[in-house]
Amino acid sequence: MLEVKGLRKSFGPLAAVDGVSLRARAGEMVGLLGPNGAGKTTTVSMIAGLLRPDAGEVLIAGRPLGGDTDPAKRNIGLVPQQIALYEELPAGENLALFAALYGLEGSAGRRAIGSALDFVGLADRGKDRVATFSGGMKRRLNLAAALLHDPELLLLDEPTVGVDPQSRNAIFDNLEALKKRGKALLYTTHYMEEAERLCDRLVIIDHGKVVADDTMHGLYRLLPAANMLSVELDEAEDGAGLDALRRLPEVQSLEKRGAGLRIGVRELAATPKVLAWLLDHGYSYQHVASERADLETVFLSLTGRSLRD
Amino acid sequence: MYTAWKALVRKDVRLFFANRRAVLMSVVAPIAMASFFGYLFGGNGGQPEATRIPVLVVDQDGSPISRGIVARMSGDKALVLMPAGMEQAREAVRKGKATVAFVIPEKFGEIAARAFFGNAAKPEIALLYDPTHGAEMGMVQGILSGHVMEAVSQEAFGGPGSSRLVKDSLADLDKNSGLPPDLKPSLTAMLKAIGQWNAQSQGRPGASQAGLTVPFGTRTEAITSGTGIPYNGYAHYFGGMGVQFILFVGIEVGMGLLLQRREGLWSRLRAAPLSRSVLLGSRAASAAITSMFILVFMFAFARVVFGVRIQGSLPGFLGICAAFSLMTAAFGLLIAALGKTPEATRGIAILGTLLMVMLGGAWVPTFLFPQMLQKLTLAVPTRWAVDGLDAMTWRGMGFSASLGPMAVLVGFALAFGALAVARFRWEE
Ligand SMILES: Nc1ncnc2c1ncn2[C@@H]1O[C@H](COP(=O)(O)OP(=O)(O)OP(=O)(O)O)[C@@H](O)[C@H]1O
Ligand SMILES: [Mg+2]
């Protein structure tokens, strides 16, 4: 559905987007992940035809956009990072405007507006002015405005900033439903949990360059350790006695903080072996927890920088 | 395409009316200012009552001649005359309560009468005036000359002291060596004849009215849409202020677009499959609609409250309103195209607007401009709007007179619009 090849855009001396390629198939949700200023919004703007690339190509359904009035733009639904709504108009009128921009009016328009408001849980607020909405409600309406014309490709630029967890979950469920209906989604965020939960594939960019493009599973394979075991020992161990644990083939890393241990293992299946080793060597413990290495770790290991710096 | 166009225009009009303060500002403010200017300069019809000049008189003489002058001045329709003391008069003029005060000095009558026939020293009437009202001073001076001439000459020809005046003048004439000797007999004969006339006419009804008078009167007629239809100052100023405030609407259009761009709304609109001319054109159309609303509302108000009528062609009037509204809308787009940030652009846009308004004659009618400037201001679109509205309202011109202004305004609209579309920075 979407294919991006070698996109470049510079603002003066700054290469905001420096050779980005990515693709999103129908029924697929691709995460575009990167820290502030990585070039996510610039990339999305070029895909939506708002910004002319310096180089590279954007194909929507196999065809490049042919100018401002290209009807192929109807295939795209853009949820901009900045809330783009008329504060002084009621929510319903905002949606009516955006529907009309895509040629929807009359009963078709009203139907589209009704279901979009439902989609974001604002069905009872259609008559209220946007200025009276909370930040999260505006975000949700901002998202609804992109769905009216039922586009095949959704470009979501940080659509859930400031939305409370409950509404966010509702939105996620709905996005999943859209995916099942065969829409292609490009989801820009720097919330790793969102990306992990929603996306089939992740494109990580930094300084305008793609540093990784893979499935979650593939990304974890890039990590030295995919799982972290936290073990709390009964007594702090300062000696070198634990160093032998590192020699187990399953153990990839070991960190000591007083009585706390963090042990990196490639697979969760290795856990019993590690725990047994501890007991065998006289280390008793009270509390064990296991967590998957997250995207934060992935990003850190790929760029040496934290995702939220 | 039409659906989108319609929706965009509707949105802008809704936004305009949603902002009550802005609506009030763009409707009430011009009405208030036009009413004020209209009241100040002309009002509706027949000026005299409205423009009588307050004048004070200090009569230190009290002679029949000075009393005659005061009586004549009191009767003048252009003045409101009040007696006053010297100090009081000075104070009143200084404070702007009276425009002019004139002082008839002691013995004025006597000396003036003597100076009338001979070349005795002329007495002086002092005129105290407010320097901001030079023109009125000139007018009072002119009126005063006429009345003094009448009063003095009437006294000379048959007034109570006239026989002594003739005798004194004859005595002066004998002493006076300045007159060529061959002319002296004729003058002596004339004075004697006057003495004789005075003696004979004394107490005879009808004869006392003799004397010199100003041998003409004036009749003024302001040339308006027709005889009997008075000039309506409100008509001009409603046009002028309407033009000014609609240009402000144009500025708001420009500012609005720049703000929309900053807020990301502009990009959002551009994500839809719309041409640039639809995006900008719809904004121009909606601005034209709101401007048209303001003009029509203003003139409706002027009609009800001040009796301003479209004496000329109504279609012509509406046409000029529409053409000017379009021009303003395009002007707004141009501001958006050339401006960078709303903050940086507003100041310069307001300056440009006020210049256009001033040169267009909305504040001071262009016929008061120097010839050169009158020609130069033909290059200013507002000039055509103001003149066009004047033509359709109080000048009462026909539809054909509206075609010129309309064509020029539409021309400016197209030029501004084309420049705006060409220079508009779409990305960002
Ligand atoms: N119109 C512009 N003019 C100049 N520089 C720009 C412009 N737009 C973006 N940039 C720069 O390009 C770089 C990428 O910006 P972009 O908005 O694409 O980042 P982003 O990944 O979306 O960041 P964020 O997570 O903060 O939204 C930034 O350094 C930004 O300063
Ligand atoms: Mg961004």
Q: What is the pLDDT of residues B364-382, one digit of tens each?
A: 877 778 888 888 889 999 9
**A171 and A237: one domain?**
no
Closest CB to A88: pick one of B7, B18, B272: B18
- Looking at the complex, does the CB of residue A79 fall below 8 Å from at least one CB of chain B? no
* Closest residue of chain B to A42, computed from CA coordinates: B428
Q: Crossing angle for the helix pair B276-306 and B20-40, nearest 10 degrees?
A: 50
Task: Say if residue A172 is in the same domain as residue A279.
Answer: no
Q: Which of A187, A220, A253 is the last residue of a domain?
A: A220
Tell me what pLDDT residue B142 has.
Answer: 86
Q: Is the pLDDT of residue B6 over 50?
A: yes
The residues near B165 (Cβ < 8 Å, ≥ 6 apart) are: B113, B114, B117, B155, B156, B159
Taking CA atoms only, the protein residue closest to ligand 1 atom 30 is: A37
Tens of pLDDT, residue by residue over A127-173, are: 999 999 988 899 999 999 999 999 999 999 999 888 888 888 888 88
Radius of gyration of chain B (CA): 33
Spell out the residues 6+ positions from residue A187 whose beta carbon is closer than 8 angstroms to its own.
A29, A30, A31, A32, A156, A159, A175, A194, A195, A198, A199
Find the A34 Cα to ligand 2 centroid distance in Å. Answer: 9
**Dihedral Cα A245, A246, A248, A250, nearest 10 deg:** 120
Let me know whether A239 and A112 are in one domain: no
Helix, strand or coil, per DSSP, at residue B227:
coil
Average pLDDT, chain A: 88
Which residues of B fall within a CB distance of 8 Å from A79? none
Q: pLDDT per residue over B24-58, tens digit each?
A: 888 899 999 899 888 887 665 544 344 678 899 99
Q: Are residues A30 and A132 in the same domain?
A: yes
Asked if A149 and A75 count as a contact pair (C-beta separation under 8 A), the reply is no
Partner-chain contact B3 A83, CB within 8 Å: no
Average pLDDT across chain B, whole number: 84
Determine the distance separating the centroid of ligand 1 and the alpha carbon of B327, expressed in angstroms: 37
| A52 interaction partners in chain B (CB closer than 8 Å) | 427
Closest CA relative to residue B198, chosen from B151, B146, B153: B153
Choose the final residue of a domain: A176, A195, A220.
A220
Structure token pair of residue A176 = 């999943």
Q: Residue B357: enclosing H or E segment and its boundaries?
A: helix B342-359
Q: Say what percent of chain A tops pLDDT 70.
A: 95
Whether A169 maps to a domain, the answer reads yes
A192 and A233 assigned to the same domain: no
For residue A36, which ligand has an atom nearest its CA?
1
**Among B20, B1, B12, which residue's Cα sits nearest to residue B265?**
B12
Residue keyed to tokens 């677009």: B257
Q: What is the mean pLDDT of residues B399-405?
A: 93
Show residues of chain A in contact with B269, CB under 8 Å.
Answer: 101
Residue A298 covered by a domain: no
Query: Residue A302 falls within a domain, yes or no?
Result: no
Q: How far is the CA of A10 from the centre of ligand 1 (A)?
A: 10
Our count of domains for chain A comes to: 2
Is any ligand 1 atom within 6 A of the Cβ of residue A37? yes
pLDDT the model gives residue A18: 94
Interface of B with A in 13-32 (CB under 8 A): 14-15, 18-19
Distance (Å) from CA A295 to ligand 2 centroid = 19
pLDDT of residue B394: 82
Domain range for residue A258?
227-292
CB A47 less than 6 A from any atom of ligand 1: no
Do A60 and A119 have their domain in common? yes
Residues A138 and A231 in one domain: no
A80 CB near ligand 1 (under 6 Å): no
- Residues of chain A with Cβ-Cβ distance to B19 below 8 Å are 88
- Strand A184-189: give its sheet, edge to edge: A76-79, A153-157, A184-189, A29-33, A201-206, A209-215
Q: Find the range with the poorest average confidence among B173-187, B257-271, B319-333.
A: B173-187
CATH number at residue A68: 3.40.50.300
**Which ligand 1 atom sits nearest the alpha carbon of residue A190?**
25
List the 254-273 stretch of B: residues with Cβ below 8 A of A. Answer: 263-265, 267-273
Q: Are β-strands A153-157 and A184-189 bridged in parallel, bridged antiparallel, or unpaired?
A: parallel
Q: Are residues A114 and A232 in the same domain?
A: no
Q: Are B112 and B123 in contact (CB under 8 A)?
A: yes
Stated pTM of the model = 0.71
- Residue A307 counted as domain residue: no
Strand bridging mode A153-157 / A76-79: parallel
Give the domain B52-209 fold: abc type-2 transporter like fold (3.40.1710)
In a domain, A66, yes or no: yes
* Pairing between β-strand B100-104 and β-strand B53-59 as defined by DSSP bridges: parallel
| pLDDT of B164 over the 80 cut | no
CATH number for the domain that contains residue A279: 3.30.70.2470
Which range has highest mean pLDDT (A187-191, B204-208, B381-385)? B381-385
Q: Is some CB atom of chain B closer than 8 A to the CB atom of A53?
A: no
Cβ atoms A73, B269 nearer than 8 A: no
Residue A124 inside a domain? The answer is yes
In a domain, A76, yes or no: yes
Per-residue pLDDT of A232-272, as tens digits, reads: 888 887 777 788 888 888 888 787 878 888 888 878 888 89
- The pLDDT, as a whole number, for residue A162 is 82
DSSP line for A70-102: -GGGGGEEEE-SS----TTSBHHHHHHHHHHHT
Residue B119 pLDDT more than 60?
yes
Q: Are residues A153 and A24 in the same domain?
A: yes
Q: Which ligand is nearest to the CA of A43?
A: 1
Distance, CA A226 to ligand 1 centroid (Å)?
A: 32
As a whole-number percent, the residues of chain B with pLDDT over 90 amount to 27
The arithmetic mean of pLDDT across residues B79-107, rounded, is 89
Whether residues A56 and A202 fall in one domain: yes
Closest CB to B268: pick one of A49, A69, A78: A78
Same domain, A152 and A233: no
On whether the CB atoms of residues B289 and B6 are closer than 8 A, the answer is: no
Verify that A187 and A247 share a domain, yes or no.
Answer: no
Distances (CA, A) of A12 to A16, A45, A298: 9, 17, 31
- Residues above pLDDT 70, as percent of chain B: 89
What is the ipTM, given to two decimal places? Answer: 0.81
Q: Domain extents for chain B?
A: 2-44+234-422, 52-209
* Residue A301 is assigned to a structural domain of this protein: no
Distance of residue A188 Cα from the nearest chain B Cα, in angstroms? 17
Chain B contact for A204 (CB, 8 A cutoff):
no
Confidence (pLDDT) at B183: 78
User: Is B274's CB within 8 Å of A86's CB?
Assistant: no
| Residue range B311-347, pLDDT digits in tens | 889 999 999 999 999 999 999 999 999 888 888 888 8
Ligand 1 contact via A38 beta carbon (within 6 Å): yes
What is the C-alpha separation between B228 and B231, in angstroms, rounded?
10
Say yes or no to pLDDT of B228 above 70: no
